[in-house]
Amino acid sequence: EYPHTWLPILSWLPRYKLKWLQMDLLAGATVGLTAVPQVLAYAEVAGLPLEYGLYSAFMGGFIYTLLGTSKDVTLGPTAIMSLLCFSVVGGQPHRAVLLSLLCGIIQALMALLRLGFLLDFISSPVIKGFTCAAAITIGFGQIKNILGLKDLPPQFFLEVYYTFKKIPEARIGDVILGLICLSLLVMLMLMKKTLDSEAVHSNSTFSRKLVWVVATMRNALVVIAASLVAFSWEAFGHDVFTITGKTVQGLPPFRPPPTWDNTTNGTIVPFGEIVEGFGDGLAVIPLMGLLESIAIAKAFGYQNDYRIDVNQELLAIGVTNIMGSFVSGYPVTGSFGRTAVNSQTGVCTPAGGIVTSESTFNVSLYCWDSLFICSLVISTEVDILPFVVTFLMSFWQVQYGIIGGVAVSGALLLYSTARPKITVSDYGSLVMQFSSGLSFPATAYLSHMVHSNALRASPPRSLVLDCCHISTIDYSVISEFRDMIRQFKRHNVVLIFSNLQPSVLEILLKADLEDMKYTEDVEEALQQLESGNVLDD
Amino acid sequence: EYPHTWLPILSWLPRYKLKWLQMDLLAGATVGLTAVPQVLAYAEVAGLPLEYGLYSAFMGGFIYTLLGTSKDVTLGPTAIMSLLCFSVVGGQPHRAVLLSLLCGIIQALMALLRLGFLLDFISSPVIKGFTCAAAITIGFGQIKNILGLKDLPPQFFLEVYYTFKKIPEARIGDVILGLICLSLLVMLMLMKKTLDSEAVHSNSTFSRKLVWVVATMRNALVVIAASLVAFSWEAFGHDVFTITGKTVQGLPPFRPPPTWDNTTNGTIVPFGEIVEGFGDGLAVIPLMGLLESIAIAKAFGYQNDYRIDVNQELLAIGVTNIMGSFVSGYPVTGSFGRTAVNSQTGVCTPAGGIVTSESTFNVSLYCWDSLFICSLVISTEVDILPFVVTFLMSFWQVQYGIIGGVAVSGALLLYSTARPKITVSDYGSLVMQFSSGLSFPATAYLSHMVHSNALRASPPRSLVLDCCHISTIDYSVISEFRDMIRQFKRHNVVLIFSNLQPSVLEILLKADLEDMKYTEDVEEALQQLESGNVLDD
């Protein structure tokens, strides 16, 4: 396990070797070049001015080096965080920055309170459902960019409707340039996939390495090329492409994030009102940020054989978001997209509709994956509901998908504790076996089963409870047991507990249930019932 | 079990015998006489004009006869529902009636959707904590009546503060009359308790029966006596007692409940705003109403050997509340107080501060009971937290107690599924046993335990998973298993599942886990590991 410390850098810096430096510098430069067009694209997904993508990517590197527990994770804007941010603040820069501050504080607090375990309650089907829906939402969002369409409503279904309605308004130059870039990107991506599967090691030739570098940095290269094309046409006075416009130059100023905002008509929106507007985003974004980062760290940890500390990751992301808000950043997290395959998505170049990398291509991969999951889920008849609920609700409002999915999977979990599997068999006397533990939601069902099978039978029958799978018990269940023992006595039949685990027996003995009878195992109970010597006392 | 039908009356009316009529009439008349002063008192707890207590008691009898499944339950205002109603609408009559309509609709819908099982999630410690807090709140509320104090703030802590602050303003006449009535009531109650415990049967003498009737109707008798005293002093012109004032005479008009309300300065408050003001009351009141009714039916069902149908009870209460709102009633439920011991509470007579039955006396009983529970709960080290949270939060706002308690007990339940007991033993190879089922919140912990005990040991060790207590499994756990199998392979050690229940094995086989190894039992797995023939394939 990773050593517990608030500053993991202290554990690896003393062991740092100079020959690692070359590798680290190379990796850093590559990631940096790949990152630029990506973070611009993510800013576009978040509905923010493009420079905000760069601002947000700024802090992660420094702080994660100090606080992070995985050597592969790079913090920065991601597709999902951008989409969530857009969904919560609707593309208002001041609020996005404030959101980053608040999310950072919440994440840091969660880390200090060691609440990382909350992540356990977001189940795989919820993650899959959400990812698939996010891929479709982001992917479809790129279509409007390729078509050069503007001013579409943010809600997904309306966006789909208006995209098709406005197809006649598409700008032909944007479409052609967009499609060329897209096919280039897909080609380069497939090339890289082939290279990767052939395992590029130190024994590969220089030319293969070059192809690998080109393929890896394909986003940056395509963006630069497309920008040059668009810029040169523009320079010659042809208005063929939609130019996004200039981005602000230079480093962002270091200043506290704004605690108020202006509406379009100049009214000041106070702090409280802004925070109220964030609503459930303040719960969803910190958790999703952590989730995304952990998913990446897990994938790379599997490859490179290390494990990470969830609460420490939370601290790293939290501090990054807090500091990020001082340089006008919006919420960030670990970015799978930067170095790995699956979450790469669109890039919005200065040449308007070009955008978009392989996102549309990846959508189909995501959904194929999800279909595969569906088939497994259906065949094992579990977990289909959380997946479907998350998927569908994500199109309504992105964060609702997670909330809905978590609620549904939590409800199913609670329902399964309320209706444990109870097997009733007849060996002369009735034997009732519980397939899992009993806790308070199960008491009503337990009572129903005992009454309908034993007490309301005519004549009433004695019952042996096989408790071998019960490892915990609570006050409500003890009360129910007390009640049951009395009722069996009233009906002149016997209730025998058997196969009690030591810890459960201890609690029952402490609770001092009047007339409780128990035996080592079911056979002994059945023998006692047959010989009839249990009714004597 | 009770036959499933929407009109249970059809199942008992054909079998009705004429000799039952005498008993039923006598019981009805007794309950009626006992009820009048009680429901007036409850209206006072709800902060409503006294006649609303009578209005609310009106519908229950008719509708429960048609729809109810317990022969003992009487629907009407109760202490807890009155307190909740006051907490939600703050004593505004129009809103209380509208609340009754909405609660009725929600309850009827829940009945049709068969959501009665939601009740299972309110655990005993929550109920106890709430009851104890409600008893203290209501009981303390009577002190201000005995003292003849007026215009105290509704919030409990403020009320306590101002009651003590205003003691010098107490009206001496009210206090004396109140204390005399109170001691009379307590005396009669103790008398009744003694009689009850001596089991009054048909063989008892007429005089004993008379004493029993007087003791049972003590509330009515004391109220009438006190009213006569107060009225006669008033008639002779002495202003010694606080007279509550006249109540409206006659039956309430039958009309649809109001869908709007006036503020004190005459502004009209629209429907939507009123409903928004109800907030979580719309969830708490329907559920608490059902809970109270079920608790009573359960207690009487135990005595009289019958069981009730939760959803049918829900329907009966729901329809009663809907119809009740047409005769200006506020939310009602099954009233334990009317015939049984525990929930009897104060009565506010025309003679002002008199009030109040044995409520203060009962408070001590409640709390004694709760202390007993606490000691049990502490000794078994379970469920103390939900009890304490419910108890404390109930003083803040009554309904918050329930919500907080349910949330805490739900969270504890979920936490226990996230951290199942895992026992690790060493028999040459490691054996890991789970004490209960595995579901998605447990995957992270499972992974942690497997890694820290087997994979990260140096050298890595083979592991046998003893799955005998696992009866359900979900997609997230299957994914984790798949991951674990791969990692064991990478580390050149072996993971063997053993003791799989047939249903779990079937799911795992369907999921088609690559390289999954499983054995009948743990011994077989250990033998295979020792002989080393598991690494061959």
**Domain map (residue ranges) of chain B:** 17-239+281-364, 384-417, 421-533
Q: Name the more confident of A361 and A150.
A: A150
Say whether B436 and A510 touch across the interface (CB within 8 A).
no
Q: Give how far the C-alpha of residue B339 lies from the chain's centroid of Cα atoms, to the nearest Å.
A: 19
| A413 vs B298 pLDDT, higher one | A413
Which stretches within A152-309 are classed as H helix?
Answer: 156-165, 172-197, 206-216, 218-235, 271-278, 281-304
**Nearest C-alpha of chain A: how many angstroms from B300?**
13
Q: Which residues of A touch B478 (CB under 8 A)?
A: 376, 380
Q: Are B352 and B276 in contact (CB under 8 A)?
A: no
B501: phi then psi, degrees, rounded to nearest 5: -70, 145
Give the pLDDT of residue B206.
Answer: 73
pLDDT surpassing 70 at residue B349 = no
Q: Is pLDDT above 90 for A99? A: yes
What is the pLDDT, as a whole number, of residue A248? 57
Does A411 contact chain B (CB < 8 Å)? no
What average pLDDT score do residues A308-323 get?
90
Three-class HEC string of B495-536: EEEECCCHHHHHHHHHHCCCCCEEECCHHHHHHHHHHCCCCC
Chain B, 114 to 143: residues with Cβ < 8 Å from chain A are: 117, 119-121, 123-125
pLDDT at B464: 94
Determine the Cα–Cα distance for residues B173 and B176; give it in Å rounded to an integer: 5
Q: List the single best residue of A417, A449, A470, A490 to mutate versus B (max B Cβ within 10 A).
A: A417
Digit-coded pLDDT (tens) for A122-150: 888 888 788 778 777 777 777 777 777 77
Instruction: Calculate how close chain B gets to A223, using CA atoms only, in Å.
Output: 38
The amino acid that residue B117 corresponds to is F
Alpha-carbon dihedral B130, B131, B132, B136, rounded to 10 degrees: 100
Among the residue ranges A82-96, B273-287, B363-377, the one predicted with the least confidence is: B363-377
CB A350 within 8 A of CB A227: yes
Q: How many angstroms separate the CA atoms of A212 and A193, rounded?
A: 10
Query: Does the structure show a pLDDT above 70 at B34?
Result: no
The confidence score (pLDDT) of residue B320 equals 92
CB contact under 8 A, B121 and A476: no
* C-alpha torsion B336→B341→B342→B347, nearest 10: 80
Please check the confidence at residue B59 and state whether its pLDDT lies above 90: no
Instruction: Determine the Cα–Cα distance for residues B112 and B117; give it in Å rounded to an integer.
Output: 12
Query: Rounded mean pLDDT of B107-130?
Result: 87
- Cβ atoms of A197 and A231 within 8 Å: the answer is no
Longest Cα separation, chain A = 108
Q: Which of residues 463-492 of A touch B (CB under 8 A)?
A: 469, 471-476, 478-479, 483, 486-487, 490
- Give tens-digit pLDDT for B388-416: 898 899 888 777 888 899 899 988 888 88
Total Cβ atoms within 10 A of residue B296: 26
Q: Does B417 touch chain A (CB under 8 A)?
A: yes
SS3 track for A480-504: HHHHHHHHHHHCCCCEEEECCCHHH
Instruction: Kindly give the pairing relationship between strand B75-76 and strand B333-334.
Output: antiparallel
For B199-219, the pLDDT digits (tens) are 545 556 777 777 776 776 666
What is the predicted pLDDT for the residue at A33? 64
- Give the whole-angstrom CA distance, residue B171 versus residue B74: 37
> Which residues in chain A have Cβ-Cβ distances shorter than 8 Å to B380?
475, 478, 507, 510-511
The predicted pLDDT at position A524 comes to 92
For residue B99, pLDDT over 60 is answered with yes
Mean pLDDT score, A193-216: 66
Q: What is the side-by-side strand order in the sheet with B422-427? A: B422-427, B429-434, B463-466, B495-498, B517-519
**Whole-number pLDDT of residue B519:** 93
Q: What is the mean pLDDT of residues B467-482?
A: 87
- Nearest chain A residue to B479 by CA distance is A124
Structure tokens at A93: 């820069």
* Over residues A482-493, mean pLDDT: 90
Average pLDDT (B219-224) is 69
**Is B376 near chain A, with CB under 8 Å?**
yes
Query: What was the pLDDT predicted at A446?
Result: 92
- Which element (helix H / strand E) includes B404? helix B398-418
Angle at A530 between CA A526 and CA A534, to 5 degrees: 85
Angle at A138 between CA A133 and CA A141, to 5 degrees: 125
Phi, psi torsion values for B24, nearest 5 degrees: -60, -40
Contact (Cβ atoms closer than 8 angstroms) between residue A114 and residue A123 = no
Does residue B20 belong to the interface with chain A, where contact is any CB pair within 8 Å? no
| pLDDT given at position A102 | 94
Q: Which region among A112-121, A192-201, A396-405, B190-199 has the lowest average model confidence (pLDDT)? A: A192-201
Over residues B301-310, the pLDDT tens digits come to: 776 677 778 8
Which of A124, A451, A475 faces B475 most closely, judged by CB atoms? A124
Query: Which of A281-285, A288-292, B21-25 has the least mean pLDDT?
Result: B21-25
**Residue B330 — very low, low, confident or very high, per pLDDT cuts 50/70/90?**
very high
Instruction: Report how far residue A363's alpha carbon sits from residue A356's, in angstroms, rounded to the nearest whole number.
Output: 12
Contact B120 A511 (CB under 8 A): no
Phi and psi (nearest 5°) for A380?
-95, 0
Question: C-alpha angle with apex A474: A490 to A385, nearest 5 degrees?
Answer: 110
Nearest CA to A118 out of B418, B404, B409 is that of: B418
Distance CA B236, CA B225 (A): 17
Residue among B479, B489, B473, B418 at smallest CA distance from B449: B418
Tell me the chain B residues in contact with residue A436 when contact means C-beta distances shorter than 8 Å: 436-437, 469, 471-472
| Least Cα separation, residue B370 to chain A (angstroms) | 13
Give the Å distances, CA to CA, from B448 to A72, A307, B416, B423, B455: 20, 9, 16, 13, 10
SS3 per-residue string spanning B76-134: ECCHHHHHHHHHHHCCCHHHHHHHHHHHHHHHHHHHHCCCHHHHHHCCHHHHHHHHHHH
A262's enclosing H/E stretch is strand A261-262
- With 60 as the cut, is the pLDDT of residue B371 above it? no
Q: How far apart are CA B449 and CA B441, in angstroms?
A: 14
Which residue has better confidence, A364 or B12? B12
**pLDDT of res. B535:** 52
Residue among B310, B417, B423, B485 with most chain A CBs within 10 A, to mutate: B417
Residues of A in contact with B481 (CB under 8 A): none
In angstroms, rounded to a whole number, what is the distance separating the alpha carbons of residues A128 and A112? 29
Of A307, A380, A437, the CB nearest to B507: A380
CATH of A421-533, one of 3.30.750.24, 3.40.1160.10, 3.30.70.360, 3.40.50.10490: 3.30.750.24
Mean pLDDT confidence for B125-152: 76
pLDDT interval class at B294 (50, 70, 90) = confident
SS3 labels along A292-320: HHHHHHHHHHHHHCCCCCHHHHHHHHHHH
- Using DSSP's 3-state secondary structure scheme, residue B268 falls into strand
Query: What 3-state class would DSSP assign to B151?
Result: coil
d(CA A111, CA B491): 32
Res A340 pLDDT > 90: no
Q: What is the pLDDT of residue B381?
A: 56
Q: How far apart are CA B296 and CA B74, in angstroms?
A: 10
Strands B463-466 and B429-434: parallel
The identity of residue B432, as a single letter, is M
pLDDT band at A2 (very low <50, low <70, confident <90, very high): very low
Q: Which of B382, B417, B475 sits opposite A475 (nearest CB)?
A: B382
Q: β-pairing, B268-269 with B261-262?
A: antiparallel
Number of A:B CB contacts under 8 A?
153
Q: What pLDDT score was predicted for residue A15?
A: 75
Q: Taking CB atoms and an 8 Å limit, are A124 and B511 in contact across chains?
A: no
**The pLDDT value given to residue B1:** 39
In chain B, the percentage of residues whose pLDDT exceeds 90 is 16
CA A463 to chain centroid, in Å, comes to 47
- Residue pair A319/A75 in contact by the 8 Å Cβ criterion: no
Residues A248-260: tens digit of each pLDDT: 566 677 888 887 7
Interface of B with A in 182-211 (CB under 8 A): none
Length of chain A: 537
> Is the confidence at residue A345, as pLDDT, over 50?
no
Q: CA A201, CA A210: separation in Å to the nearest integer?
A: 13
Distance from CA of B79 to the nearest CA of A (A): 24
Q: Is A416 on the interface with B (CB under 8 A)?
A: yes
Cα–Cα distance measured from residue A340 to residue A299, given in angstroms and rounded to the nearest whole number:
10
What value does the mean pLDDT of chain A take?
A: 77
Closest Cβ–Cβ partner in B373, B417, B474 for A383: B474
Mutate to test the interface with A, among B115, B118, B124, B302 (most CBs of A within 10 A): B124
Nearest to A120 among B441, B452, B474 (CB): B441
Torsion of CA B180, B185, B190, B195, to 10 degrees: 130
Where residue B462 falls among pLDDT bands split at 50, 70, 90? very high
Res A343 pLDDT > 60: no
Question: What is the DSSP code string of A362-429?
Answer: HHHHHHHHHHHHHHHHHHTT-SHHHHHHHHHHHHH-HHHHHHHHHHHHHHHHHHHHHS--EEEEEESE
Q: What's the pLDDT score for residue A364?
A: 37
Residue A200 in this model has a pLDDT that exceeds 60: no
Residues A97, A330: Cα–Cα separation, whole Å: 5
Question: Each residue of B174-190: pLDDT tens digit?
Answer: 778 777 877 877 787 77
Segment B204-210 long-range contacts (CB within 8 Å, at least 24 positions apart):
none
The tens digit of pLDDT for each residue in A175-193 reads 787 778 778 777 877 777 6
The token pair that represents A219 in the structure block = 């986003």
Spatial distance between the Cα atoms of A185 and A344, rounded to a whole number of angstroms = 11
Instruction: Please answer whether residues A154 and A86 qualify as being in contact, where contact means their C-beta atoms are separated by less than 8 angstroms.
Output: yes
pLDDT at A310 over 90: no
